[in-house]
Structures are given as C-alpha cells and as structure tokens.
Amino acid sequence: MTESYDVIVIGAGPAGYVAAIRCAQLGLHTAVIDDWLDAQGSPVLGGTCLNAGCIPSKALLDSSELYYRSLHECAEHGIRSDNVTIDIATMMARKQRVVGTLTKGIATLFQANDITWLKGHGCLLDNKRVRFTPHESGRNPETLDASNIILASGSQPVELDAAPLDGERIIDSTGALELPEIPQRLGVIGAGVIGLELGSVWRRLGAEVILLEAQDSFLPMVDEQISAAAFKQFTQQGLRIRLATRVVSTQLSAAEVRVHYVHGEDEQALTVDRLIVAVGRKPRSQNLFAPECNLLLDERGYVHVDEYCMTNLPGVYAVGDLVRGPMLAHKGAEEGVAVAESIAAGREISVHGNRIPSIVYTFPEIAWVGQTEQELRTLGNSIRTGMFPFAASGRAHAMEAPQGMAKIIADAETDQILGVHILGPWASELIAEAVLAMEFSASSEDIARTIHAHPTLSEALHEAALAVAGRAIHLGRRRMP
C-alpha cells in the first residue's frame, strides 16, 4: 500500500525543515525526504546552511577573529598575549561540534512534531507523487502520495571550467571550511559574499589572500557609499582584491596552483598554495523531478513560481534557493512558513521580498535592507539620506571598532524609509531594527523619535535617522531644519 501524507517536503535545509515544522504545527501529516550525508556517511538534517555554509563559516569567522584580536588588539586593552598560537585541528573540531549540536537539534524538533524523516533521495513524479530512494542498501525505492508537495532541495556551488575542482588544491566553499592547515598563499575566485567571508577567515589566520573578481565594481548589490568604504577597510586588512579580472585557466602541481587571468588588456598569472572557487551558487534542481511532470524551470535552472511560491503544477510548491530571489536562509525559511500556512488555511500568503535583510559577515560587517541610493536615483526617486559614522560612536570606540557607518534613505516627500545600509560592528544585529521599521512603513522621523539606549551601537542608526533631517547631534556640522 502506498504511504500517503498531507505534505511531503523534499529537502531539509532552512527552507525545507522550517516548512515541515510549521506544517506539523498546523496539524498536517508531514514527511521530509533529505539526502544529505555528513563526512562519515551518516544522514543529517540542516542542508548546506547548517552543514557546509552559514553555521560552520560563522564558527570559523568567530574563531579567526578571536585569534586575530589576541595577536593584534588585546595589548590595547592591557591584556598580554605574547605567546598566542593557533591549533587548526582544534578549531575545526569546535566548528564541527557547533554543527552537530544544531543538526541534532533539528532531529529533536522533528521527533517532537511527529515529522517523518525519510533518509534518501526524493524525486517528484506526476499526480502529486514522490519516488523515495532510501540510502540504506537493499531497500527498494518507494512511491509516496501527498496532497501537497514542497520542493526545497536548495543550491550548490557553481563550478568553473577554467578552474576544475580537484578537492585538494582547487576547492569550493565547502572544501574551504575543511582546510587542515593555513595556506601561505590563498587565491579566491570571486569577491562576493562567500569569497569575502572565506578570504577573511584565512587572512586573519595568517594567509596571504588575493581575490580575483570578474566584475568591475565591488559588491555591486551594495550601496555604493558602503561598498567603497568596505573596499577600503578590507584592503587595509590585507585582502588583495583585483576587480575586472577573469580567470582563463589553471595548472596544478603537487604543491601549488598556477592561475592565469586577464586583467584589462593584460594576461597575468599568480601562484598559490590553494585556490577557492567562490563564483556563486546555482539551484539544485537536477534529478529533482521526472520529465513527465512538466515542472517549469527557467533558463538558469530555477523552479518557476508565482508570488505565493506555487509552481505550474497544482499542489506543488517550491521555496528557498530553488526559486527566484536572494539565496538566503532566512528568506527560504519565511517562504517555507508562508507555504505551510497557505496550505493549512486554503489561501495564498506571500513574503515581502523587498524587506529581506542581506548580510556579509566580515569585519566590519555589512548589512542592508531595501533599495540603494544609486537604484533610487536611477529610478528618478526624490530622496533624502542620513549617514552617521561609527567613528562618532562611544560604544564603537570602547569596542575598538569605530569603522564604518549607518545610512538611511527616505522618500523626500513622505519620509518613508526606502533603504537602510550599515557597515560596522554587529551590523547583522543592528539591521533588524531597520527591517522592523520598514515592515511597519515607518519614517526616518519614527526612528529619530525613538529613544535608543546609551552607549550602544544602535545609536548610530538613531543618529542616521536624525541626519536625514539635518539634525544629527554628534556630528560636527549641524543644520537646523
């Protein structure tokens, strides 16, 4: 007899496991099919984010920052740390403990919500059926029925023909989180979010890092004022970022990689010990569905969905990295919740795509929500901006982190906030206030009239709101409205 469910979710990353938990909370009989295996070949939940992305990278970023501060900044606090050493094996073991704690936590949540975890590969068939192929040897594939199916198979690193991966010298972002030693010379193809974060980890640990970026602008999705300041900060930290640089070929030897690239009219080369390919990610839509399903994809492999994450097939949804929009764990999770609630309520619920925060977890961090100044001016919008530097923040100075700024962009007539951009310490946490303000269609005046505790980093956002009207308190030049 064919097993039947109210909902089957294919994929257990943030989009999939959150969707499953919300479905179960709403009383829907739910199963999740996931094919992720850890380094020991054991099934684990959490997808790329928990196992080979968001969580392990942040664990290493924190470890590397502690090491760097111990070497270079503790003396300013009167803390002597002359004999600091680094044990990469211990650092990697800690990272894996963090990952293990969180993935086991999801398994516990599945048990608490009576979600069936099917360990193996899921493939969408026609008529709302799914073929489940178990990992266990000797078990035959099964066909499952569901009233609703949620596709959440996530994404995978984009490979580059000019730099084929060998898993040893030329690696992707996953391999960059597993290096057994600090490379003396590290090359990174791609100076986007992933390349910058990985480059920052190994630069803090002592590697010479060079990033080769094909685009001629740095972080083009970021507000230009913020990206220019960030470029200056990263360069001062020792990251060598070469823009408008296209890698054309690589040559491997036993101990190094020779990278050939074109910069302007010149063809150049450099030699590194390891090379990370971090040129983006693509949807993991291959082998996700049978051809007879007629599931609609776009030319880049994304599953086509409407604003409610519904595919062209009745009762079949797709969420997360598999569909349009930024490849962000929190975006996928919110889509998963919206789909679960749509299924349970019998009506469509959407996610506000223009209020999704984005973050680069470097130091200083970069965080933003809404539109950039250049986007708005290109569209012809009449805007006002307010900026406040962390160099004028008492808390930032107390933390030895006075780099960067907070910037608010508001409509010139209505004062409604259109975008908020932060480069500075804990920007990833500060941006939440801006997201909440925009969710409630707040004005810059609303933030300006809200009392912020002193001394805190959040005061930078408060002062930026005041600066929109030309009345920031802690800036040297004041203009009365």
- Return phi, psi of residue 171, to 5°: -130, 165
Residue 272 lies in a domain: yes
Kindly state whether residues 289 and 313 are assigned to the same domain.
Answer: yes
66 and 135 belong to one structural domain: yes
| 3-class state of residue 7 by DSSP | strand
In a domain, 477, yes or no: no
Distance CA 65, CA 442 (A): 35
End-to-end CA distance of the chain: 75
Backbone angles phi and psi of 30, in degrees to 5: -125, 140
- 91 lies in a domain? yes
- The whole-angstrom separation of Cα 196 and Cα 191 is 6
Residues 41 and 69 grouped into a single domain: yes
Number of domains in the chain: 3
Among candidate residues 353, 380, 413, the one where a domain is terminated: 353
Q: Does 183 share its domain with 197?
A: yes
- Neighbour-count burial of 474, counting CB atoms closer than 10 A to its CB (0-12 exposed, 13-18 middle, 19+ buried): middle
Q: What separation in angstroms does the CA of 237 have from each of 182, 363, 395?
A: 17, 9, 22
Predicted local distance difference test score (pLDDT) of residue 108: 98
Is 474 contained in some domain? no
Determine the structural domain holding residue 25 and report its residue range: 4-156+282-353
**Structure tokens given for 55:** 């969580």
- Judge if 349 and 400 occupy the same domain: no
- E-assigned strands of 152-273? 155-157, 170-171, 185-189, 208-212, 240-242, 245-252, 257-263, 266-272
Residue 209: inside a domain: yes
How far apart (Å, rounded) are the C-alpha atoms in residues 103 and 43? 10
Within-domain flag for 165: no
The conformation of residue 30, written as its DSSP 8-state character, comes to E
| Active-site hit among 72, 77, 397, 454 | 454
Look at residues 314, 333, 353 and tell me which one is the last residue of a structural domain. Answer: 353
Which residue's structure tokens are 């946490």?
429
User: pTM score, two decimals?
Assistant: 0.95
Is the domain of 327 the same as that of 230?
no
Burial class (CB in 10 A: 0-12, 13-18, 19+), 70: middle
| Same domain membership, residue 133 and residue 65 | yes
Q: What is the pLDDT of residues 99-154, one digit of tens each?
A: 999 999 999 999 999 999 999 999 999 999 999 999 988 889 999 999 999 999 99
| Residue reference for tokens 């690589």 | 250
Q: Which residues pair with 477 in a beta bridge?
A: none
DSSP code of residue 463: H
CATH number for 422: 3.30.390.30
**Closest residue by Cα to residue 358 from 192, 156, 154:** 192
Q: What is the pLDDT of residues 345-393, one digit of tens each?
A: 988 888 877 899 999 999 999 999 999 999 999 999 999 999 999 999 9
What is the per-residue pLDDT for 478?
Answer: 54
pLDDT (0 to 100) of residue 481: 46
Q: Indicate if 289 and 405 belong to the same structural domain.
A: no
Asked if residue 213 and residue 314 are part of one domain, the reply reads no
The span from the CA of 233 to the CA of 10, in Å, is 41
Q: 260 catalytic, yes or no?
A: no
The domain spanning residue 246 has which CATH number? 3.50.50.60
**Same domain, residue pair 132 and 188:** no
Same domain, 54 and 120: yes
Asked whether residue 19 falls in the same domain as residue 138, the answer is yes
Low-confidence ranges of the chain (pLDDT < 70): 1-2, 477-481
* CA distance linking residue 369 with residue 354, whole number of Å: 8
Tell me which of 279, 305, 339 is where a domain ends.
279
